[in-house]
Chains A and B, each alone.
Chain A
Amino acid sequence: NAGVMQNPRHLVRRRGQEARLRCSPMKGHSHVYWYRQLPEEGLKFMVYLQKENIIDESGMPKERFSAEFPKEGPSILRIQQVVRGDSAAYFCASSPWTSGGAYEQYFGPGTRLTVT
């Protein structure tokens, strides 16, 4: 059973370009979360999605950042017009849906974004 997959693992963008980060959840998982870890800082929640729905985006910066989880295909975190401060590790996590009980989240290896 493959784990959470993220690609690319490393991404270099110049200031002003767009960055697209992809996340394929574990098989059977319908919940996806994105977290960001700035250099020398802790992990911060960004957004929570279910298929075709954004459930909680309270951690997303108000501008330039967007996320989607289409009916088919991976979840995408999109950063428009990147700036140096966007350089960070971006982690995706997934969890299953069940009618009750605990919901542990399983994390991918992350995408390391470097803005030059």
Chain B
Amino acid sequence: DAKTTQPPSMDCAEGRAANLPCNHSTISGNEYVYWYRQIHSQGPQYIIHGLKNNETNEMASLIITEDRKSSTLILPHATLRDTAVYYCIVRVDTSGSRLTFGEGTQLTVNP
């Protein structure tokens, strides 16, 4: 699976958009970009994933650049409960493909 690079930490004001970047310059054509988060030692929570088109769900939006070498996770209106470690993971989309977690980004939402 392709390696990803994320900033170790970010801050965001409550109610503002949180934009979390991820670089995956060695991504292959059949690899998806997944985002998970882990809130204070709870089980990781799936957020969103995409291949090359931008995606949106009730939790977040995922913007993938045209060359697919980077992406941004957007939490449109961050709340205190969004404080967590966010992981960007690139993996081949096949059954049984493991998730390889890196260091992630510690997002702190401030009141």
In the complex, what distance in Å separates the CA atom of A105 from the CA atom of B35?
Answer: 11
Contacts of A33 in B (CB 8 A): 98-99
Q: Which of B43, B95, B102 contacts A107 (CB 8 A)?
A: B43
Cβ-defined partner of A91 (8 Å) among B43, B94, B98? B43
* Chain B binder among A14-22, A41-49, A78-86: A41-49
* A103 partner residues in chain B, CB cutoff 8 A: 93-97
A34 to B56, CA, bound (A): 28
CA distance A50 to B85 in the complex (A): 29
Q: Contact between B94 and A107 (Cβ–Cβ < 8 Å)?
A: no
Interface string of A30-55 (1 = CB under 8 A from B): 01010101000011110010100001
Contact A4 B43 (CB under 8 A): yes
Please give, as numbers and ranges, the residues of chain B lying within 8 Å of A72 by CB-CB distance. Answer: none
Cβ–Cβ < 8 Å partners of B100 in chain A: 45
B46 touches A48 (CB 8 A): no
Known pairs A45-B100, A102-B49, A104-B34; A110 contacts B43 (CB<8 A): yes
Give the size range of A's interface with the partner: 20 to 34
A37 CA / B44 CA spacing, docked (Å): 11
The chain B residue with its CB closest to the CB of A30 is: B95
Question: For residues 14 through 54 of chain B, which have their beta carbon under 8 Å from a beta carbon of chain A?
Answer: 32, 34, 38, 41-46, 49
Verify if A74 is at the interface (C-beta below 8 Å from B): no
> Chain A residue with minimal CB distance to B93?
A102
Contact residues of B with A, CB < 8 Å? 32, 34, 38, 41-46, 49, 93-104
Residue contacts A-B, CB under 8 angstroms, 25 given:
A31-B95, A37-B41, A44-B101, A45-B99, A45-B100, A48-B96, A48-B98, A50-B96, A55-B96, A59-B98, A89-B41, A91-B44, A93-B99, A95-B95, A97-B95, A98-B95, A102-B32, A103-B93, A103-B96, A103-B97, A104-B46, A106-B46, A107-B44, A107-B46, A110-B42
With A44-B101, A98-B95, A110-B43 known, 16 other A-B pairs at CB within 8 A are A33-B99, A35-B101, A42-B101, A42-B104, A43-B99, A45-B99, A48-B98, A50-B96, A91-B44, A93-B43, A102-B49, A104-B34, A106-B46, A107-B43, A107-B45, A110-B41
